[in-house]
């Protein structure tokens, strides 16, 4: 039997679109593959060690402790934590499996995006193959874009990728529900829409908080593409009720939350930031324009993960592009709204992007700039271009050439960036070159130079930047490390480190991680000038730091470090006092156990018992866990009787060690 002319486009769509998508997936796999051999980076070490925090995840008890131990936002991101078990059940672990899973997720998201764009295209043009061509091309331009490398090959950003995955599933369920309502299958349509707007929003939010934007993104679809496909009668009433309850109301609640956070941060600005809330709001339009420049003028390399040198807008005129950027963003948003009916594809790209940026680029006091924030918002960014190229009625040759050439060009750019991500030393040096004013980038590069036998180069890199940024403790610490390799710490470097400790903002976990190694080096005596009194002076400078005075977490770290240094110097009772004082800033059984174990490992089990006794006396004063997953985690630990058992086990071990120590002392005293 022959195929009539009306059926040919449908057959072409049925076969050529999947084959085209398969080719794009293989191209993406080829482009990303060299980056899989890269190392873990930065925030990876803040999240992935939870895999071993309670021991190997090989029992249900450990599983529930691990799954509820997440941070980052109140929801705890348990879905992302669950996904890491695909790659490892303990820590440390090799990075390759984690990066491979991220790449598979990137390919899955590209496939889901193609399906979503195809459904939206069929609304605008029900007949023909343009929708399929535009869907595959639009997904390809997003999937192969080099800007997505800093999400896909950065293991911890699986949180953002999973949130996008469930957002795409939710929007697909939402669009299916709408189509079923058009067919008169109201119950099934409402069920699918509820699955998307409620179920997938929950899963997306449990991956990362910006997954809560799914209802807002659904409203963007409704205001643009689906404005051309109105519902009638009872279906319209049911759909409007559904949208109000499951999309508009959550969107309004989210807006209220962002306004509340903004007001709270404006009234009580965090000391850890170098800007105010007003300055952040002035800066973000400039960041958005920078993102758009990276998206529409792709390049093989960018600033990567180091954006601490991004200029803060101090006023509408400082820098000079602040006001134009703000007005430009407002104008673009107005155009997106005005074009929602006449140019729905273009309007969707604009509104979807701004809606996707609503959390991370407005009032929540996060870092000013990160490339991975574009991952979800940019998903419909290239659909207008793909829609235009998919119209082969005019300029067929030019459009066909661009449709084939642009994905290949993006794949080549992505390949170059992935190769860089696969070589940690080259990556560090390149990021330092492209971010000359970033203390983080320079400190990172100096670490590699020192480790590769180039301490002189590392010192030359650090000295001028430390003079320009005397409050950057990471630069000061790296300079101390480098000078140890050069023969010894000089007085100027020691003074620079004290200045940095006194003037730094929140250093995060850098203090405890660096001092743990530094104390061992100081005790060994193998680095002249790098002594325990030097470390004691650094800790004292930190305790006098006015920016950290009201930061209980950092105060606990500093008093803990003071105790560790005193213990290394042989002042055990003074160390006990410092550790007990540290405990008072955040009364936690985990801290008490770690400090008691440290005292015991230094040969003072009875002082370890004294610290456990001190904890027992103040345990009832511990602050309740924060709202969210922290409360669930505390409940799990109580249900398992975890800390009472662990502390009892530790107490028993310390008592046995103390008794053995007493026996040895008695035997020694009785010996002639």
Q: What is the full DSSP assignment across 382-420?
A: THHHHHHHT-TTSSHHHHHHHHHHHHHHHHHHHHHHHHH
Q: What's the confidence (pLDDT) of residue 274?
A: 78
How much of the chain exceeds pLDDT 70, in percent? 97
Give the pLDDT mean for 337-353: 95
Alpha-carbon distances, residue 57 vs 52, 96, 605, 642 (angstroms)? 7, 19, 30, 15
Per-residue pLDDT reduced to its tens digit, 186-233: 999 999 999 999 999 999 999 999 999 999 999 999 999 998 888 887
Instruction: Summarize the confidence of residues 525-550 as an average pLDDT.
Output: 92
pLDDT digit string, tens, across residues 164-181: 999 999 999 999 999 999
| Mean pLDDT for all residues in the chain | 91
Q: Which range among 68-72, 254-258, 273-277, 501-505 shows the weakest confidence by mean pLDDT?
A: 273-277
The token pair at 191 is 């069920």
In this structure, are residues 174 and 218 in contact, taking their beta carbons and an 8 Å threshold? yes
CATH code of the region 437-549? 1.25.40
Q: Where are the domains of the chain?
A: 8-39+95-421, 437-549, 552-564+573-672
pLDDT of residue 669: 66
What pLDDT does 597 receive? Answer: 93
Which range in 56-65, 420-429, 454-463 is most confidently predicted, on average pLDDT?
A: 56-65
3-class DSSP assignment, residue 661: helix
pLDDT tens digits, 285-343: 999 999 999 999 998 888 888 888 889 999 999 999 999 999 999 999 999 999 998 99
What is the model's pLDDT at position 1? 47
Residue 559's pLDDT band, with cuts at 50, 70 and 90, is very high
Single out the residue of 120, 294, 106 nearest to residue 217, CA to CA: 120
Cβ-in-10-Å burial (0-12, 13-18, 19+) of 400 comes to middle
Instruction: Kindly give the interhelix angle for 396-421 and 130-143, rounded to the nearest 10 degrees.
Output: 30
pTM of the entire predicted model? 0.92
């Amino acid at each position: 039997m022959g195929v009539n002319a009306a059926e040919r486009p449908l057959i072409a769509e049925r076969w050529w679109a999947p084959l085209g998508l398969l080719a794009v997936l293989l191209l993406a796999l080829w482009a990303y593959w060299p980056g899989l051999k890269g190392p873990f980076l930065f925030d990876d070490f803040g999240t992935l060690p939870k895999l071993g925090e309670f021991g190997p995840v090989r029992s249900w008890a450990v599983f529930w402790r691990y799954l509820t131990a997440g941070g980052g936002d109140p929801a705890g991101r348990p879905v992302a934590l669950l996904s890491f078990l695909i790659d490892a059940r303990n820590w440390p672990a090799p990075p390759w499996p984690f990066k491979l899973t991220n790449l598979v997720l990137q390919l899955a998201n590209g496939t889901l995006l193609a399906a979503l764009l195809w459904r939206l295209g069929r609304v605008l043009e029900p007949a023909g193959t343009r929708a399929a061509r535009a869907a595959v091309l639009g997904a390809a331009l997003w999937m192969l874009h080099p800007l997505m490398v800093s999400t896909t090959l950065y293991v911890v950003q699986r949180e953002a990728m999973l949130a996008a995955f469930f957002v795409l599933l939710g929007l697909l369920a939402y669009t299916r529900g709408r189509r079923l309502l058009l067919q008169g299958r109201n119950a099934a349509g409402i069920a699918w829409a509820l699955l998307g707007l409620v179920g997938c929003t929950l899963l997306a939010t449990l991956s990362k908080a910006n997954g809560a934007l799914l209802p807002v993104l659904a409203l963007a679809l409704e205001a643009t593409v689906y404005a051309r496909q109105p519902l009638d009668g009872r279906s319209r009433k049911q759909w409007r009720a559904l949208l109000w309850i499951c999309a508009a109301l959550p969107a309004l609640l989210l807006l209220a939350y962002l306004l509340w956070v903004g007001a709270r941060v404006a009234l009580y600005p965090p000391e850890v930031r170098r800007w105010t809330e007003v300055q952040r709001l002035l800066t973000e339009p400039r960041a958005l324009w920078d993102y758009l420049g990276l998206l529409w003028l792709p390049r093989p390399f960018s600033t990567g993960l180091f954006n601490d040198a991004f200029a803060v807008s101090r006023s509408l005129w400082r820098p000079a592009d602040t006001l134009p950027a703000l007005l430009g963003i407002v104008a673009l948003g107005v155009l997106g709204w005005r074009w929602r009916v006449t140019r729905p594809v273009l309007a969707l790209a604009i509104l979807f992007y701004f809606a996707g940026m609503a959390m991370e680029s407005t009032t929540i006091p996060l870092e000013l700039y990160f490339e991975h924030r574009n991952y979800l918002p940019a998903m419909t960014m290239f659909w207008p271009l793909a829609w235009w190229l998919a119209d082969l009625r005019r300029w067929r040759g030019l459009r066909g050439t661009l449709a084939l050439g642009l994905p290949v060009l993006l794949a080549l750019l992505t390949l170059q960036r992935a190769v860089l991500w696969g070589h940690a030393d080259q990556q560090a040096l390149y990021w330092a070159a492209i971010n000359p004013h970033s203390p983080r980038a320079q400190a990172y590069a100096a670490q590699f130079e020192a480790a590769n036998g180039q301490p002189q180069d590392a010192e030359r890199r650090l000295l001028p930047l430390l003079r320009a940024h005397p409050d950057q403790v990471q630069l000061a610490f790296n300079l101390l490390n480098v000078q140890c390799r050069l023969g010894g710490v000089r007085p100027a470097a020691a003074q620079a480190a004290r200045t940095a400790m006194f003037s730094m903002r929140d250093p995060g976990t850098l203090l405890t991680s660096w001092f743990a190694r530094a104390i061992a080096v100081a005790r060994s005596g193998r680095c002249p000038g790098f002594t325990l009194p030097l470390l004691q002076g650094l800790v004292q400078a930190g305790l006098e730091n006015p920016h950290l005075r009201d930061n209980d977490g950092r105060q606990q770290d500093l008093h803990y470090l003071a105790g560790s240094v005193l213990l290394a110097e042989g002042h055990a009772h003074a160390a006990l006092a410092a550790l007990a004082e540290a405990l008072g800033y955040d009364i936690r059984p985990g801290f008490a156990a770690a400090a008691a174990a440290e005292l015991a490992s230094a040969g003072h089990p009875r002082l370890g018992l004294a610290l456990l006794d001190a904890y027992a006396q103040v345990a009832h004063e511990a602050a309740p866990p924060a709202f969210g997953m922290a409360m669930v985690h505390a409940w799990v630990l109580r249900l398992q009787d975890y800390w009472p058992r662990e502390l009892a086990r530790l107490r028993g071990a310390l008592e046995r060690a103390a008794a053995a120590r007493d026996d040895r002392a008695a035997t020694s005293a009785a010996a002639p």
